[in-house]
A and B are shown apart, each in its own frame.
Chain A
Amino acid sequence: GAGVSQSPSNKVTEKGKDVELRCDPISGHTALYWYRQSLGQGLEFLIYFQGNSAPDKSGLPSDRFSAERTGGSVSTLTIQRTQQEDSAVYLCASSLRPMPLQFGSGTRLTVV
């Protein structure tokens, strides 16, 4: 596709449920990133993939958060037992160095 695609664009879930967020990066981009943007806050780094491996998982907030990438392409961010503080916009970006990151439009997650 022409850009980074994220789905769903909006997700409302009940506290305690699991959610999966999907990211389709730009074809050929080897690097993929997940960021979180909470209301009024800056972008918080979550995880970075180079190919299918994740050399930097330092930003994952807790063990309820996990991510995987398959075939060097699609990535899924999973949040288990969601809490209200997980409510945020989750942004995915991809790049082919040394070009700048290209971001998707994000998934707005609301935990009620």
Chain B
Amino acid sequence: KQEVTQIPAALSVPEGENLVLNCSFTDSAIYNLQWFRQDPGKGLTSLLLIQSSQREQTSGRLNASLDKSSGRSTLYIAASQPGDSATYLCAVEGVTGGGNKLTFGTGTQLKVEL
């Protein structure tokens, strides 16, 4: 059974700081890994999707890497802003047991302070 872990569970940083969020998964047989953002009381917004054959994806100030063999992904946020405050979730889409099911981590709650 796939298990996804995110560290840290919560993070508070001053505005402008670069930061890294970590995600690990137990089963490396995956189609892809996705990073989402969730604002309080809202649904999830897709940030980046990395296919299993890829090593990283970039969008603006966000960069996500994937090391499938070690079961790890990182989300790098450059020059953080208060508007980045949200919960960040990673999810993996598994190859086995229903290939289109995303297994989510419990998230990292980020607060960027002025």
- Check A100 against B107 for contact (C-beta < 8 Å): no
- How far is the CB of A82 from the nearest CB of chain B, in Å? 22
B11 within 8 A of A: no
- Check A103 against B45 for contact (C-beta < 8 Å): yes
- Check B103 against A103 for contact (C-beta < 8 Å): no
- Check B46 against A100 for contact (C-beta < 8 Å): yes
Interface string of B51-88 (1 = CB under 8 A from A): 10000000000000000000000000000000000000
- Check B101 against A103 for contact (C-beta < 8 Å): no
- How far is the CB of A52 from the nearest CB of chain B, in Å? 15
Partner of B43, one of A33, A45, A103: A103
Chain A's closest residue to B42 (CB) is A105
Instruction: Number of B interface residues at 8 Å Cβ cutoff, please give it.
Output: 23
Contact of A56 with B98 at beta-carbon distance under 8 Å, contacts A42-B104, A43-B104 already known: yes
- Check A91 against B44 for contact (C-beta < 8 Å): yes
Instruction: Number of A interface residues at 8 Å Cβ cutoff, please give it.
Output: 26
- Check A101 against B34 for contact (C-beta < 8 Å): yes
Task: Give the residue among A4, A35, A99 with the most B Cβ atoms within 10 A.
Answer: A35
Partner of A102, one of B46, B51, B104: B46
B26 within 8 A of A: no
- 23 sampled A-B residue pairs with Cβ under 8 A: A33-B101, A42-B4, A42-B89, A42-B105, A42-B106, A43-B44, A43-B89, A43-B102, A55-B98, A56-B98, A56-B101, A58-B97, A58-B98, A58-B101, A93-B44, A98-B49, A99-B49, A101-B46, A102-B46, A103-B36, A103-B45, A104-B43, A106-B42
